[in-house]
Homo-oligomer: A and B are copies of this chain.
Amino acid sequence: MGITKSHIFTVKENKLAKYAKALGHPARISILKLLAKKQACVCGDIVDELPLSQSTVSQHLKELKEAGLIKGDIEGASVCYCIDEKEWKNAQASINQLFDSYKDKVGSCC
């Protein structure tokens, strides 16, 4: 139905999925890389760096903001976007917890 049955999963699973979903688009990866390098913090600079329209970039920024990965401070007429340090680390830790839960195979199947 295009709608996820979130209630049957844990809060933690949903939060992790939300982080991952935000990372699940190359444009958003690209934006985050720009923000990480701090070469572009102002929205307009991001638009200039990517071959996407202003409205499209704005929407991607909105999704990253809703996932919690970034935050935007209004600076006069423009908006300064930055990575949310706390959530960024939290996301990394959550993802690594999943990856690390897999111990090297001992044989069994496959």
Contacts and interface: CB of A to CB of B under 8 A. Distances in A.
Interface of A: 4-6, 8-10, 13-14, 16-18, 20-30, 32-33, 35-38, 41, 50-52, 71, 73, 75, 80-83, 85, 88, 91-92, 95-96, 98-99, 101-105, 108-110
Given A6-B26, A23-B16, A26-B6, A99 B105 contact: no
Contact of A101 (B33, B105, B109): B33
Number of copies of this chain that the complex holds: 2
B23 A109 contact: no
Contact of A27 (B9, B26, B105, B110): B9
Given A26-B13, A91-B99, A5 B52 contact: yes
Q: Which of A17, A22, A88 counts the most B-chain CB atoms under 10 A from its CB?
A: A17
A104 B85 contact: yes
Contacts of A51: 5, 8
Given A105-B85, A109-B41, A110-B41, A36 B4 contact: no
